[in-house]
C-alpha cells in the first residue's frame, strides 16, 4: 500500500490557511495544524473584555479553523522566543511594528524544528496559506524563497494557494501531491480565495483585514513604542502587551501613564491588576477603573485624579471624589474638579 503522506500546516485562524489545508486534504494528504502564540495574536479573549465587542464571536480562530477542517491543532507558546524577532528583526518592520518577514521565517523555522522533534509522527512537509503579493512585506515573489531558505525548510515548504507561481517543491517533485491541482493565486484581490471557500462550503471565516496580529495595528504599535520609551528599555512581559489592548492610554508625564477603562467590561478586567499597579476609581460618581503604570509621586495625585474624574459621570461636576490606592501605601481620597482641557488630554493620548 502506498505511504500516506503527512503535512503540518501553519494555522493562523484566517481563511488562507484554512483553504491551503483543505486543498491538500482533497488530495488525500493527512494534515495537522500548528499555531504559534506570540502574545500579540488577535483572539477571542480581547473581544470578551469590551462591552461594545460583546456581539463578536469569542472564539480562538485557530482552534475553530482546526475544528472545521477536522484536524488536530498543536498550539505552541513562543512568547519568550518571539521577543528577539520583534526587537531585532533582520528584515525590518512593516508599516507599523510588524516584523512580518522575520516572523514568517521564525514560524516556519519553528515548524521545521517541531517536525524534527516529532519525527516519530512522520511529517513529510510543511504548508502555509501564503499567497504571492497578498501582503506587502512578507508575501512577495522575492520573499517567498527567503522564507524557505532562512527558515531551513527549503523544498519541503509548500504553499498550495500559489504553488503554480513558484518552483516545484519536494512534495510535487516526488508526486506526493499533484501540482496540477494546486493554485496560482497572486495579488491582493481576495475573490479567488472567496470563490474557493464557497466551493468548499466555508461560509464563516475570520476577516482577513489587517493581518493576523496586533503588531499591524497603528494605534497598538504607537502604544508599544511609548511603553518602551517610558521605561527607557525595549522590554516587555505578557501583561504589558495584554494591557496595550485595553483602555485609553494617557501619558501626562514621561515617568508614568494612566490606563483608563473605556467601559464596564474593561474596568472589570483592569481590576484584576489592582495588586500590581496603583489604581484610581471615582467613588462619588460612576467612573472607570484606572491603573498607573510607572512612577507616581504624591505631587501627581491631584493631576491623575483630575484626569480620571474627567472620564466618569462626574465630568461636569464641580468636584468628584477619587480614591487613589497606591501600591504599598495607604489609600487616599481626593476631592477634585475634573480636568476639562480637551487639548491637554489630546496631547497626552498615546
Ligand atoms: S501580521 Fe503579525 S503574526 Fe502575521 S506575519 Fe506579521 S508579525 Fe507575524
Whether 208 has a pLDDT exceeding 60, the answer reads no
pLDDT digits (tens, 9 = 90+) for 247-271: 999 999 999 999 999 999 999 999 9
pLDDT digits (tens, 9 = 90+) for 73-106: 999 999 999 999 999 999 999 999 999 999 999 9
Residue 137's pLDDT is 67
Ligand 1 centroid – CA 345 distance (Å): 32
What is the average pLDDT across 138-156? 92
**Cβ neighbours, 10 Å, residue 151:** 20
Report how far residue 19's alpha carbon sits from residue 199's, in angstroms, rounded to the nearest whole number.
10
Residue 317's pLDDT is 96
Residue 53's pLDDT is 61
Residue 31's pLDDT is 98
Grid coordinates of 46: 480581547
- Counting from 1 in the atom list of ligand 1, the atom nearest the Cα of 101 is 5
Ligand 1 centroid – CA 101 distance (Å): 8
DSSP letter assigned to residue 206: B
Dihedral over Cα of 164, 166, 167, 173: its sign: negative
Report how far residue 228's alpha carbon sits from residue 248's, in angstroms, rounded to the nearest whole number.
17
Provide φ and ψ at 257, rounded to 5°: -130, 160
- The pick from 138, 143, 224, 241 for probing ligand 1's pocket by mutation, whose C-beta has the most ligand atoms within 8 angstroms, reads 138
Residue 212's pLDDT is 75
Whether 47 has a pLDDT exceeding 60, the answer reads no
- CA-based nearest residue to 121, from 34, 179, 182: 34
The C-alpha cell 488525500 sits at 28
At 41, is the pLDDT very low, low, confident or very high (cuts 50, 70, 90)?
Answer: confident
- The pick from 104, 111, 140 for probing ligand 1's pocket by mutation, whose C-beta has the most ligand atoms within 8 angstroms, reads 104
Classify strands 278-282 and 290-294 as parallel, antiparallel or unpaired: antiparallel
Q: Residue whose CA is closest, atom 5 of ligand 1?
A: 100
Grid coordinates of 51: 462591552
Tell which wins on pLDDT, 174 or 206.
174
Ligand 1 centroid – CA 25 distance (Å): 25
Round the average pLDDT of the chain to a whole number and report it: 92
CB distance 279 to 301 below 8 Å: no
What is the average pLDDT across 260-283? 96
User: Which residues form the pocket of ligand 1, taking CB atoms under 6 Å from any ligand atom?
Assistant: 98-100, 103-104, 138, 211-213, 215-216
> In whole angstroms, what separates CA 302 from the centre of its chain?
36
Ligand 1 centroid – CA 257 distance (Å): 27
Instruction: Sort 90 into a burial class: Cβ within 10 Å, 0-12 / 13-18 / 19+.
Output: exposed
Q: Residue whose CA is closest, atom 4 of ligand 1?
A: 212
CB distance 291 to 271 below 8 Å: no
Whether 209 has a pLDDT exceeding 60, the answer reads no
Whether 338 has a pLDDT exceeding 80, the answer reads yes
Report how far residue 318's alpha carbon sits from residue 95's, in angstroms, rounded to the nearest whole number.
44
Whether 46 has a pLDDT exceeding 70, the answer reads no
Q: Which residues pair with 324 in a beta bridge?
A: 280, 332
At 58, is the pLDDT very low, low, confident or very high (cuts 50, 70, 90)?
Answer: low
Ligand 1 centroid – CA 64 distance (Å): 19
Which pTM was predicted? 0.90
CB distance 264 to 286 below 8 Å: no
Report how far residue 88's alpha carbon sits from residue 65's, in angstroms, rounded to the nearest whole number.
31
Residue 59's pLDDT is 77
What is the average pLDDT across 150-155? 98
Amino acid at each position: 500500500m502506498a505511504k500516506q503522506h503527512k503535512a503540518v500546516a501553519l494555522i493562523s485562524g484566517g481563511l488562507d490557511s484554512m483553504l491551503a489545508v483543505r486543498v491538500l486534504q482533497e488530495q488525500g494528504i493527512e494534515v495537522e495544524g500548528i499555531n504559534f502564540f506570540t502574545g500579540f495574536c488577535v483572539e477571542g479573549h480581547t473581544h470578551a473584555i469590551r462591552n461594545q465587542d460583546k456581539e463578536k464571536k469569542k472564539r480562538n480562530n485557530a482552534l475553530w479553523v482546526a475544528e472545521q477542517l477536522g484536524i488536530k491543532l498543536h498550539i505552541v507558546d513562543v512568547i519568550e522566543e518571539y521577543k528577539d524577532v520583534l526587537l531585532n528583526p533582520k528584515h525590518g518592520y512593516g508599516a507599523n511594528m510588524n516584523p512580518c518577514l522575520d516572523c514568517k521565517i521564525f514560524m516556519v523555522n519553528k515548524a521545521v524544528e517541531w517536525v524534527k522533534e516529532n519525527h516519530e509522527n512522520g511529517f513529510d512537509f510543511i504548508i502555509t496559506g501564503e499567497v504571492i503579493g497578498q501582503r506587502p512585506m512578507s508575501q512577495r515573489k522575492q520573499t517567498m524563497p527567503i522564507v524557505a531558505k532562512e527558515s531551513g525548510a527549503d523544498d519541503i515548504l509548500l504553499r498550495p494557494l500559489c504553488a503554480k507561481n513558484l518552483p516545484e517543491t519536494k512534495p510535487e517533485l516526488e508526486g506526493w501531491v499533484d501540482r496540477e491541482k494546486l493554485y496560482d493565486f497572486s495579488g491582493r484581490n481576495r475573490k479567488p480565495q472567496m470563490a474557493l471557500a464557497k466551493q468548499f462550503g466555508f461560509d464563516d471565516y475570520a476577516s482577513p483585514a489587517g493581518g493576523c496580529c496586533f503588531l499591524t495595528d497603528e494605534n497598538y504599535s504607537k502604544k508599544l513604542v511609548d511603553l518602551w520609551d517610558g521605561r527607557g528599555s525595549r522590554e516587555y512581559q505578557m501583561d504589558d502587551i495584554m494591557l496595550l489592548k485595553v483602555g485609553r492610554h494617557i501619558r501626562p508625564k514621561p515617568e508614568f501613564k494612566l490606563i483608563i477603562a473605556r467601559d464596564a467590561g474593561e474596568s472589570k478586567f483592569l481590576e484584576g491588576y489592582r495588586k500590581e499597579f496603583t489604581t484610581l476609581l471615582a467613588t462619588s460618581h460612576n467612573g472607570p477603573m484606572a491603573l498607573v503604570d510607572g512612577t507616581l509621586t504624591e505631587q501627581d495625585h491631584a493631576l491623575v485624579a483630575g484626569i480620571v474624574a474627567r472620564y466618569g459621570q462626574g465630568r461636569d461636576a464641580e468636584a468628584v471624589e477619587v480614591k487613589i490606592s497606591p501600591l504599598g501605601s495607604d489609600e487616599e481620597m481626593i476631592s477634585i474638579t475634573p480636568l476639562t482641557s480637551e487639548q491637554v488630554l489630546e496631547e497626552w493620548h498615546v
